[in-house]
Amino acid sequence: MKVNASCPTSPEPSEKAKKYDRQLRLWDDHGQAALESSHVCLINATGAGTELLKSLVLPGVGNFTIVDNKLVTAEDLGSNFFLNKQSIGKNRGEMACGLLSELNSDVRGNFVDDSVEQLLVNSPSFFDEFQLIVANDLSEKTICDLSERLWASDIPLILIKSVGFVGYMRIQLREHTVIESHPDNAVEDLRLLNPFSELKSYLDSIDIESLSPQRLSHVPFPVLLYKHLSDYRSHSNESNILAPLTRQQKREIQDAMRKAKRTVEDRMVAVKNGDFVDTNPKTVQDAENFEEAAKAVNTVLGGLDVPSEVQRILEDCKCVELTPESSTFWVLCRALKDFVAEEGSLPVRGSLPDMTSDSDGYVALQKVYRDKAARDADVVARRVRGLLRDLGRNADSISEQEVKLFCRNSAFLRLQRGTCVAKEFRQFPKLVDLGAELESGDSDLTFYVLLRAMERFRTDFGRYPGVLDAQIELDNMQLKACVCKLLSESGTPVSIGDDYVQEITRYGAGELHSVAAFVAGCAAQEAIKLLTRQYVPVDNTMIYNAIVSKCAVYKM
């Protein structure tokens, strides 16, 4: 883009902005504020657990608390970088907390020398102060008790496990709503097929026929595309055509744009006018804006239909029937639903993509979209205030900034409703639909069954398979029996090979630091999604196969 005026000097960034520069580009200041106001609880400071906390402490989570009543052993040092020889014999949570706290002075770390089992019995309200619980190395019964307690309190839970070359993560959440989902390859909202009145007036006011080739090569591509679309409609044999929806129609517009591009470039070489004199093709600037318009045909010429995922949210009973306890998200969704019912479309997003253009043209077009986005947000904000008054709540309890952010992302809203881990653990999931995948023999779902069989083995025998050298063969047989029993419960008429069972037994429940660190990194990423309410979390189980370096996601 050609710049016609010098830019003002940018203010010096604060020390905090410098420290967290890269992550602020991912989730912005309000995401960072949400992270810094969060309190995360880690149950058991294993290698995977401390690696996960490391990945939360470094970006600046507000507080963390480690619940662990175990003492550090020599074995812990082999898989946990946050313990040292001086830690042996001391409380594992305390030792890990001290070293983790050194990573970031902005973060406050705490530890509780107690077992989660005792806390659930004696102080069940202990967990209510946290925004997220991360747990590992727990028995099946404790997992179920903790899961039910957190499910009732609507507190998210992440389970992680690292055994040999296998990793596991399971997210439990009752309901999770996302406004800023940051989708990949988001389609720009330019409204060129059905422009709003201000946009139509602006586009119609530009006479591209009177522009010199040089100036024409700097016209924003939405203007060019609108002009060629209007011309295409006027010459179409279909009098009621609303959009070039078919491949043939899109191809015709693209061909017209590229033909116009060549014409403009030829004129820039051959034509002499007051703005431009150059007869050397090597120094002539290409009319890239025409190529941008041609490429945009397949993306920006969409209709005004509400995306299916957003439509499902607007039709949800929580959106239709608000209560005084309705969350900010659902109040905003109801206001959006009413807006769509009246306007026939979502609020204008108000942003423009990067494009070839002169500064004046880009700024003028950007102002048209921004002004319309601001007006739409004002309409939604008025509806929000009215809804809040009807609910007996403070009409200003949802800020205008929140409304604007919501409107800007209204096409990308996401809703997740999860399942309770306790239900999954007490009744093994029906895997009938995944039976063919299991039967293939190389599915990572096999490791899910094996990890669950490990936990069943621990419940039955009080230890994991393979931890006693003298019991290896017997453990293989007993673990195989656990696998067969689980598959029978799932209704899946397949079997898992003995070599898989033997591999799990061979691990002896050992934790490899490299595998633990990878699983923990993945879990920390999901934790940040939950805490900032940005990006879409995994739904809901991840299996990591370090043997072939592959992850798989399943919904249990």
Domain residue ranges of the chain, discontinuous segments joined by +: 15-174+512-554, 197-414, 421-507
Tokens of 145: 């008790």
Average pLDDT on 320-330 reads 97
HEC secondary structure over 142-178: HHHHHHHHHHHHCCCEEEEEEEECEEEEEEECCEEEE
- Which band of pLDDT confidence, cut at 50, 70 and 90, is reported for residue 433? low
Alpha-carbon distances of 497 from 306, 450, 480, rounded to whole Å: 48, 11, 9
> pTM of this prediction?
0.89
Tokens of 3: 């710049």
Dump pLDDT digits (tens) for 160-219. 999 999 999 999 999 999 999 999 988 899 999 889 999 999 999 999 888 888 888 889
Evaluate whether 92 touches 47 at the Cβ level (below 8 Å): no
Given this model, what pLDDT does residue 280 score? 46
Distance (Å, whole) CA 67 – CA 71: 12
Instruction: Tell me 315's DSSP state.
Output: T
Paired strand residues for 140: none
pLDDT at residue 414 above 80?
Answer: yes
Dump pLDDT digits (tens) for 497-546. 899 999 999 999 999 999 999 999 999 999 999 999 999 999 999 999 99
Evaluate whether 411 touches 346 at the Cβ level (below 8 Å): yes
Evaluate whether 517 touches 55 at the Cβ level (below 8 Å): no
Q: Is the dihedral of CA 289, 292, 297, 299 positive or negative?
A: negative
Measure CA 538 to chain center: 8
Tokens of 538: 């995994």
Given this model, what pLDDT does residue 18 score? 87
pLDDT at residue 387 above 90?
Answer: yes
Characterise 272 by phi-psi region: left (phi > 0), alpha (psi -120 to 50), beta (else): beta
Cis omega (within 30 of 0) for bond into 540: yes
Average pLDDT on 416-420 reads 96
Distance (Å, whole) CA 530 – CA 519: 17
Report the C-alpha dihedral over residues 196, 197, 202, 203, rounded to 10 degrees: 60
Instruction: Give the closest residue to 553 by CA, choosing from 531, 394, 545.
Output: 545
Counting residues of the chain whose pLDDT is more than 90, the rounded percentage is 72
Which amino acid belongs to residue 156?
Answer: P
Distance (Å, whole) CA 173 – CA 87: 35
Evaluate whether 329 touches 416 at the Cβ level (below 8 Å): no
Evaluate whether 133 touches 41 at the Cβ level (below 8 Å): yes
Alpha-carbon distances of 247 from 18, 168, 194, 253, 298, rounded to whole Å: 48, 44, 20, 10, 9
Distance (Å, whole) CA 496 – CA 505: 14
Distance (Å, whole) CA 352 – CA 362: 9
Distance (Å, whole) CA 488 – CA 507: 25
Instruction: Give the closest residue to 75 by CA, choosing from 52, 47, 112.
Output: 47
Distance (Å, whole) CA 419 – CA 427: 12
- Which band of pLDDT confidence, cut at 50, 70 and 90, is reported for residue 476? very high
Burial of 436 (C-beta count, 10 Å sphere; 0-12/13-18/19+) = exposed
User: In sequence order, what are the residues at sequence separation of 6 or more whose Cβ sits closer than 8 angstroms to the Cβ of residue 302?
Assistant: 187, 193
- Which band of pLDDT confidence, cut at 50, 70 and 90, is reported for residue 237? low
Average pLDDT on 271-283 reads 47
Average pLDDT on 297-318 reads 89
Distance (Å, whole) CA 285 – CA 292: 15
Which amino acid belongs to residue 288?
Answer: E
* Element (DSSP H or E) covering residue 552: strand 550-554
Instruction: Give the closest residue to 165 by CA, choosing from 481, 472, 545.
Output: 545
pLDDT at residue 278 above 70?
Answer: no
Evaluate whether 225 touches 300 at the Cβ level (below 8 Å): yes
- Which band of pLDDT confidence, cut at 50, 70 and 90, is reported for residue 273? very low
Paired strand residues for 439: none
Evaluate whether 336 touches 406 at the Cβ level (below 8 Å): yes
Name the H helices within 238-301.
Answer: 247-270, 288-300
Classify domain 15-174+512-554 by CATH architecture.
Answer: 3-Layer(aba) Sandwich (3.40)
Distance (Å, whole) CA 185 – CA 169: 27
